[in-house]
Every structure is written in C-alpha cells, then in structure tokens.
Amino acid sequence: MSTEKIKVLIPQLPLADAILPYMRRIDEKRTYSNYGPLATEFRDRLGVLTGATGVTITSNGTTAIEVALRIRARPGARYCLMPSYTFIASAHAVCNAGLTPYLLDVSERTLTLTPELAKAALRDLDEEPAAVLVVSAFGAPPDQAAWRSFEEETGVPVVFDAAAATTSIKSVGKQPLCVSLHATKALGIGEGGAILCSDESLIERATAITGFGFLGAERVSAIRAGNYRISEYAGAVGLAVLDALPERLAELQRLTDGYRARIGSDKQSRFQEGVGESWLTMTLNVIVPPDAVAATAKRLDEAQVEWRRWWGFGCHTHPAFADVPRADLTTTEAISQRVIGLPFHNLLSDADLDRIVRCLP
C-alpha cells in the first residue's frame, strides 16, 4: 500500500490558456475595474446558472453576507440569530454588519439551523432580533420555502449564508442568498462572492454598497458603503470557470459516486442527505457514530490520509466569540465531533478512495 500522504483538498482553477482569450478582451477594452464588461458578463451568467433575476458580485463571500444583512436587518435591533455550527466567517460578517451574533443549535439530521429552532429562540428572547442568518451546510441547498414561511409568520428578516451552494441553487426568491466564489468552491474564481436575490431594489442597493454608495446619479454617494467590487481579471477567471463548469461537476459526481459505492450499506458512516443525488460540493463529509470518532481519526492518520473538521466545533469555541449570547448548544457540541471532511479533489485515484474508505467505520 502506498504511504504517500493523500491531501484533503487541492483547489483547481482554470489554466492560463483557458483564461487568455478573456485577458485579451481586457487588453482591448483597457477597462480593469468599476463593473467592467467581463465582470458584468460573469454576473449575468451566474444569474442564469442559479435562476437569480438579480445578482450583486462582491469581493468575497463574507462581504456578501455583511452587505445583505446591512440592507435587511431591522433598524435598531441588535441580535442576529445564527447557528454556532458554521465557518467562523459567518460570525465575522454579522459583527461587520453592526450586529451581535446570537448563537443557536442545529439539527442533528441536517446540520443546520431550522425554523423550529429559531422559533424556540424567539420565545426565549426579551427583544426582537434584527435578522436570522441561515447557513447552508457544506453546499446543501437551503430550504427556502420553509424559511420564507418563517419570515412571513414572524416578520424576522432572513438572509442565507449559502457559501458553498452556488451550483446547488436552482431558483432564488426575495430572501438573499449569499455565496462564496473562493478557490475552494466548486465555482471558485480565487476570491469573490455574490448576493443572489429576486428583489430588484435590494440588488440595486447592494450593488451601490459595493461601489462607494453611488446610487442613481454618477459619483454621488447616496448611502454609506465601501469598495467591495471585483476586478476585470477576476471576471475573466470567472468566465473561464463557467465555461468548464459542466466538466467540473461531472468530476465531482464521479468522485461522490466512487465514495458512495465503496461505503454502500456496509458502513456505519453516513453522508449528508442528498449529496451526489440532488447536489454536489467541493468538501465531502461523512458523519461517523459517536463511539467511533477517535478510532476513525487514528486510522486516517495512520494511513496518511489528511482529513478536516472544516467548521471546527462551533463559533462559540473561538476566543473572539466566546462572550456572545447563545442558546443551548448540546447538538452542536456532539455533532461537530462526528463530522469528518474526507479528501475530495480530481487527483484522487481509485486506489486512494479504497485506502480512505477502509479507514471508515
């Protein structure tokens, strides 16, 4: 058996030859930023891919969440309900929007905050929250219908952190979905993000916030804002990524199918619901039984297989957020131990998959 270490993730962006035709368009136009033609074309193609009638491209996924919360959060309210079990960027975005994270538990089945858990938190709060940040778990499409009903019933604005779910989204409503275009995502451009939404006024305002608050009149700053745009060079990469996306998704499907076939019904480990069936992701996780966590980690280490807990053990375990308010996090503290990110990239061979799966209970 090979003893060469199997890497957990190797990002893949288009090669220079695929980007070159778009770079030549930049040379011809001599437009390099400020919502140029390539960034605009990338924005429009992203809308077609996801079914979004409105798209604002941002400098990264964290900024996308911050901008969406700045627009949707209730004025004067301070708390943003959100799951503790998420990548720490979610909590930073909440704070950058001028809000305080209020950390909630997640469902053991879906790894996500549910409307039922959020409603329970509302009953315990002595003040109305500013918003709810709903996090997609590792690329799974969020339950937009359930959260639309939640907002209609409670009046609490909802924003989706769907960082890794860009290729899983098939339709978009008025509740904004914020995605990441980081190099580690299935649709990655290096650094970037986007807000997807059918609310034209929200998208107009979000786009203005990415460009110094210029809303309507040219070079007149109408609202407090910043500079959160992407350059034409990032747009060029994005267009090349979209050109090759069908092949990328086919490769992710092949890898997911390879794992599923090897795990079958003989293993105690399980995947997230729907992965490889209705959606794909760039970080494949298994959920192992609670009594098998330590032994599984030991076998992976001994087999020279890299693995990750991509979200760690929850935002509440980070010193920067140790003092923020929280509800009971029993499920988060239990399930976060059991979610293990497996190697998942296009350099994995069948022998690599065999070696990895042998380590799983």
Per-residue pLDDT reduced to its tens digit, 194-253: 999 999 999 999 999 999 999 877 789 999 999 999 999 999 999 999 999 999 999 999
User: Is the model's pLDDT at 1 over the cut of 70?
Assistant: no
- Distance, C-alpha 205 to centroid of its chain: 22
What are the chain's domains?
16-103+111-239 (3.40.640.10), 245-357 (3.90.1150.10)
Per-residue pLDDT reduced to its tens digit, 56-80: 999 999 999 999 999 999 999 999 9
Per-residue pLDDT reduced to its tens digit, 279-290: 998 999 999 999
Say whether 185 is catalytic: yes
Strand pairing of 54-58 and 193-197?
antiparallel
Residue 348 burial (CB count, 10 A)? 20
User: Is the model's pLDDT at 131 over the cut of 70?
Assistant: yes
What DSSP letter does each residue of 251-281 carry, written as one string? HHHHHHHHHHHHHTTT-S-EEPTTBTTTB--
Any idea which residue has 């996924």 for tokens?
61
Strand pairing of 131-135 and 79-83?
parallel
- Quote the strand ranges of 105-151, DSSP E: 131-135
Nearest to 134 by CA among 94, 167, 172: 94
Residue 63's pLDDT is 98
Burial 266-286 (b: 16+ CB within 10 A, else e): eeebebbeebbeebbbbbbbb
Structure tokens at 345: 């990239």
Q: At what angle do helices 61-72 and 89-96 cross, to 10 degrees?
A: 40
Cβ atoms of 1 and 358 closer than 8 Å = no
Nearest to 334 by CA among 299, 282, 289, 304: 289
Distance CA 262, CA 186 (A): 23
Length of the chain: 361
Residue 174 burial (CB count, 10 A)? 16
Predicted confidence band at 162 (pLDDT cuts at 50, 70, 90)?
Answer: very high
Cβ atoms of 176 and 195 closer than 8 Å = yes
From 5, 174, 185, 298, the catalytic residue: 185
Distance CA 4, CA 169 (A): 37
CA quadruple 349, 351, 352, 354: dihedral sign = positive
Predicted confidence band at 106 (pLDDT cuts at 50, 70, 90)?
Answer: very high
What DSSP letter does each residue of 216-235 carry, written as one string? SSTT-B-S---B----HHHH
Predicted confidence band at 142 (pLDDT cuts at 50, 70, 90)?
Answer: very high
Residue 76's pLDDT is 96
Per-residue pLDDT reduced to its tens digit, 164-173: 999 999 999 9
Per-residue pLDDT reduced to its tens digit, 305-328: 999 999 999 999 999 999 999 999
Distance CA 71, CA 211 (A): 15
What is the rounded radius of gyration, in angstroms, for the C-alpha atoms of the chain? 21
Residue 265's pLDDT is 83
Distance CA 206, CA 195 (A): 8
Residue 2's pLDDT is 61
Distance CA 353, CA 344 (A): 9
